[in-house]
A and B are shown apart, each in its own frame.
Chain A
Amino acid sequence: MRSLPISLALITVACLAGCATQPPAAAPEQPVSLSFALVAGEQLVRCGSAFGPVGRDQKKVSLRDARFYVQDVTLIDDSGKPVPLRLQLNDWQDAQMALLDFEDGSGQCVGGTPATNTQVTGSVPAGHYRGVSLTLGVAQSLNHTSTELQGAPLDLAAMGWSWQAGRKFIKLEVDPEGGVGKADGSRANTWYLHLGSTGCTGNPVTGDTVACLRANRIPLRLEGFDPATQAVALDVASLFRDSRLAVDEGAALGCMSGPTDPECVAVFKRLGLSLSSGLPLEPGYCPAFSARPKP
């Protein structure tokens, strides 16, 4: 009981110091559900049904895999101020990252997971928002963790990229009708796009991966975006606009982010990335991603 007057005194002091300048109680939170879509022009892309034609060589293709990570998901308010989305915690997202997954393991989507996820959910302070920004990729601090020690959504072996002790940021794989002809004359089924940080180096003294020559993270900013009616769409037709999907001229099949892989030249341009530096060509702009009406 003796402590009561002291407590009151402390509260008074605290109020004197802070009450005058303290903003009113935190604004109520507004739930946000940000939709994503995988499309080819006007077509919705999913496992089990061929789509297209896509690519410079106009091939019908079947989806084999389509997943990507996003981080730094932010809404832009009316005054242009970025307001980070507080991410809901679930199997698809932790406090920093979310995984979008458009494959359900059916059809030619072999080795995939049955569940899909096309939304990033969270909350922001109630208000008016007129845009969205995010970064495609996994933050450097999380990228080089082990899939076997890290929680969801970074616990998928399929998204691991062990040769760089990191992760695939984007895993998009398609099987073109008639296959892919390789430089050595042989044929393969699948054209792979694996985007991730490359040229990574570890520190043998600490056991940590410390730096990568090319980050290959894509910042994306969509102005005038309304989460209620619109979705962030990855347009496979736009992505592969300048790529030939029936041909592989060398190095990895398709593009696995190799800085000298001939197939990476066209596709990196459509991702808005410099193939040599791994930096965005025009920060915020990625030709393959755009706002579309929600499917």
Chain B
Amino acid sequence: MSRDYWRLSLGLLLGVALAWPVAAQDWAWALPSHVPAPRVPEDNPMSAVKVELGRRLFYDPRLSAGGNRSCASCHQQERAFTDAKALSEGGTGQLTHRNAPGLANSAWNATYNWAAPAVVTLERQMEIPLFGDDPIEMGVNDGNRQQILERLRAEPLYPPLFQQAFADQAQPLNMGSVIKAIAAFQRSIVSVDSRYDRYLQGRATLSAAEQRGMTLFFGERAECHHCHGSFNFNDQVVHAKSRVVETLFHNTGLYNIDGAGGFPFPNRGLYESTGKPQDMGAFRAPSLRNVEVTGPYLHDGSLATLEQVIDVYSDGGRVIGRGPHQGDGRLNPYKSGLIARIDFSAQEKQDLLAFLKSLTDQSLLKDPRFSDPWKHQR
């Protein structure tokens, strides 16, 4: 009783505290000069109260059918919003088809998931974990949607937060608002404070090894920068002033199960959607920011360490010696022309690894703005 009263009071206080800045059009992106402001959908403007609501929903297992999964189950802050697993377990125990991607700087993604050219906003992306049934992740469906919304309504903190975040709606506590609020929180997860960013701003130095690794990374021998060369270390970036965005997908020679370039179903990349032979095994290049803490790697989590990833790129693809996925990915006919045998020396591999580790943003991993808001309260 007294706990409920306390929560209610906290909610009201929070409401009052947060309502003021909303009125003042309170959202500002604090970004260094080498980072453009992200695109924000017109129908989902940022506000502090919406981000706060989104953060609470992001960390709330009541949003899943079984009450046993939240967004944070697979997107953990200390791992740059990944989960250290090759594939993640949904609410009913089914495994996802692909590796949980990090969420930092997802505001700038041009497309989402690993190879989904149709999915170009965080709002639409969220329908996949919420409603997807192959596999079931959060398990929301037409039968339980209202019941789940009732659960949220019963939490004293939520009704005022929804009211303030979506003041233009008469009945704001609906799944559309849930999606918008979580998307706003995800957009707020910005990671631009790595040692590399500080180095760019003249606020930190990189070691000799890191600098050699950086030269390799941006050079024409390793060619990492072709697909990981943007401020976000990927090659699909949309921002507030973008006019045209190319959405590139790449086959990096990871499989060749039939000698004809085949990747295993249902992980054939862009091909799953287009059916074009040349799209076989083509995936979105992920951001390499915080890559030190986002393993296992690749679309299917099939490489455990960053060292292994560097080895595969050094070899110009991956050879799988036995098992159902046996094949020489280096000879995949659909492999990107940018993936060639580089034959890094042991020293070069160490240098590249050192540079990649300079992309870790320690503040992201601990920033209280992105942490579980229920933890201290419960």
Chain A residues engaging chain B, CB cutoff 8 angstroms: 105, 111, 113, 144, 146-149, 156-158, 160, 162-166, 184, 198-205, 207-209, 212-213, 250-252, 258-260, 276
Cβ A111 vs Cβ B141 within 8 A: yes
Contacts A164-B273, A165-B118 aside, 7 further interface pairs with beta carbons under 8 A come to A148-B175, A157-B127, A157-B140, A163-B116, A201-B247, A203-B245, A207-B39
Cβ A149 vs Cβ B176 within 8 A: yes
Name the residue among A164, A202, A213 with the largest chain B CB count within 10 angstroms: A202
Q: Out of A200, A207, A252, A258, which one reaches B121, CB within 8 Å?
A: A207
Cβ B119 vs Cβ A163 within 8 A: yes
Cβ A198 vs Cβ B273 within 8 A: yes
Report B238-254 CB contacts with A as 1/0, cut-off 8 Å. 10001111010000000
A200 to B179, CA, bound (A): 22
Is B123 at the interface (CB under 8 A from chain A)? Answer: yes
Cβ B132 vs Cβ A148 within 8 A: no
Is B168 at the interface (CB under 8 A from chain A)? Answer: no
Cβ A199 vs Cβ B274 within 8 A: yes
Q: Can you identify 13 A-B contacts, CB atoms within 8 angstroms?
A: A113-B143, A146-B124, A149-B176, A157-B127, A157-B131, A165-B119, A202-B120, A204-B110, A204-B238, A209-B120, A251-B265, A252-B266, A260-B275
Chain B residues engaging chain A, CB cutoff 8 angstroms: 39, 41, 109-111, 113, 116-121, 123-124, 127-128, 131-133, 140-143, 145, 174-176, 179, 236, 238, 242-245, 247, 265-266, 272-275, 324
Cβ A205 vs Cβ B244 within 8 A: yes
Residues of A within 8 A of B143 (CB): 105, 111, 113
Known interface pairs A148-B176, A162-B127; A205-B39 also in contact (CB < 8 Å) = yes
Residues of B within 8 A of A160 (CB): 127, 131
Cβ B132 vs Cβ A162 within 8 A: yes
A135 to B266, CA, bound (A): 30
Cβ A158 vs Cβ B175 within 8 A: no
Known interface pairs A198-B275, A205-B244, A251-B265; A162-B128 also in contact (CB < 8 Å) = yes
Cβ B116 vs Cβ A148 within 8 A: no
Tell me the smallest distance from the CB of A172 to a CB of chain B, in Å: 15
Tell me the smallest distance from the CB of B240 to a CB of chain A, in Å: 10
A208 to B245, CA, bound (A): 13
Cβ A147 vs Cβ B127 within 8 A: yes
A198 to B113, CA, bound (A): 16
The residue of chain B having its C-beta at the shortest distance from the C-beta of A207 within the complex is B121
Known interface pairs A198-B275, A199-B273; A162-B131 also in contact (CB < 8 Å) = yes
Cβ B118 vs Cβ A164 within 8 A: yes
Cβ A202 vs Cβ B176 within 8 A: no
A198 to B128, CA, bound (A): 16
Residues of B within 8 A of A166 (CB): 118
A164 to B143, CA, bound (A): 23
Residues of B within 8 A of A163 (CB): 113, 116, 118-119, 128, 272-273
A165 to B126, CA, bound (A): 11
Tell me the smallest distance from the CB of A59 to a CB of chain B, in Å: 22
Cβ B142 vs Cβ A201 within 8 A: no
Cβ B123 vs Cβ A258 within 8 A: no
Q: Out of B41, B110, B142, which one reaches A113, CB within 8 Å?
A: B142
Q: Out of B179, B238, B265, B324, which one reaches A148, CB within 8 Å?
A: B179
A38 to B79, CA, bound (A): 51
A156 to B266, CA, bound (A): 25
Name the residue among B39, B109, B131, B273 with the largest chain A CB count within 10 angstroms: B273
Known interface pairs A163-B119, A205-B242; A258-B127 also in contact (CB < 8 Å) = no
Tell me the smallest distance from the CB of B255 to a CB of chain A, in Å: 16
Cβ A203 vs Cβ B142 within 8 A: no
Known interface pairs A163-B273, A165-B124, A252-B266; A157-B142 also in contact (CB < 8 Å) = yes
A199 to B249, CA, bound (A): 14
Residues of A within 8 A of B245 (CB): 203-205
Known interface pairs A146-B124, A162-B128; A202-B242 also in contact (CB < 8 Å) = no
Cβ A162 vs Cβ B119 within 8 A: yes
Residues of B within 8 A of A250 (CB): 265
The residue of chain B having its C-beta at the shortest distance from the C-beta of A184 within the complex is B324
Known interface pairs A156-B142, A163-B116, A202-B117; A148-B174 also in contact (CB < 8 Å) = yes
Residues of B within 8 A of A144 (CB): 118
Tell me the smallest distance from the CB of A211 to a CB of chain B, in Å: 10
Residues of A within 8 A of B113 (CB): 163
Tell me the smallest distance from the CB of A30 to a CB of chain B, in Å: 34
Tell me the smallest distance from the CB of B16 to a CB of chain A, in Å: 29
A198 to B279, CA, bound (A): 14
Tell me the smallest distance from the CB of A158 to a CB of chain B, in Å: 5
Q: Out of A158, A204, A212, A259, which one reaches B120, CB within 8 Å?
A: A204
A146 to B41, CA, bound (A): 14
A160 to B176, CA, bound (A): 14
Tell me the smallest distance from the CB of A177 to a CB of chain B, in Å: 23
Cβ B242 vs Cβ A259 within 8 A: no
A133 to B128, CA, bound (A): 34
A184 to B323, CA, bound (A): 13
A26 to B223, CA, bound (A): 71
Cβ B274 vs Cβ A213 within 8 A: yes
Residues of B within 8 A of A157 (CB): 127, 131, 140-142, 145
The residue of chain A having its C-beta at the shortest distance from the C-beta of B246 within the complex is A204
Residues of B within 8 A of A212 (CB): 118
Known interface pairs A165-B124, A207-B41; A199-B275 also in contact (CB < 8 Å) = yes
A111 to B128, CA, bound (A): 17
Q: Out of A201, A204, A259, which one reaches B275, CB within 8 Å?
A: A259
Residues of B within 8 A of A148 (CB): 127, 174-176, 179
Residues of B within 8 A of A208 (CB): 120
